[in-house]
Amino acid sequence: MVLDVVTSPPDSLHRPCALGLTREELKREQPHIFALLKTEIRAVNIGFIQAGTVFQHLPPQPPQVHDFVYAASPEEIIAITAELDFLRLLFHLSTTVPSDELIAASIREAGRAYSNAAEREDFLVRAGRAVCQLFRSDYERMLSIVKKIKPSST
């Protein structure tokens, strides 16, 4: 699960600034700009799938240095989040990213993976109940997260 994405120069001497151009305009007018920036992705591992089996713990080996990051397919998202154990991991996560926001966002995004409205509703209700259980001793935080889980009406 992605925690943060930051694009910056590879050194501390240069500071990027917005030029007010679209990505296409930048590619056309200043193609070298993309070679001058690096993108760092911070993530938390909530599990992995191996030989069709879902595990909600760290994989036996970390990713290799030159491994790539890809968006998970809806099927992979559903498989890895079907059991709600990953919420406990996010609950206890110590990071600069607010865990409440991360929990709500992960549930919202996992809910979007369901194309069937009834299955999506079932997942969201189960996730809401799991949040209520995790935060049973902190009503204000629990309520804040549950409000953020609610899918937009658009």
Most confident of 54-63, 82-91, 95-104, 110-119: 110-119
Q: State the DSSP code for 66.
A: T
**pLDDT tens per residue, range 47-76:** 888 898 999 888 888 888 888 878 899 999
Tell me how far apart the alpha carbons of residues 22 and 115 are, in angstroms, rounded to a whole number: 32
pLDDT of 20 strictly over 90: no
- Say if pTM beats, i.e. exceeds, 0.75: yes
> What SS3 state is found at 93?
coil
Contact in structure between 85 and 57 (CB atoms under 8 Å): no
Domain boundaries, the chain: 1-43, 72-154
CA atoms within 13 A on the CB side of 29: 8
The helix-helix angle for 117-134 and 139-149 (nearest 10°) equals 170
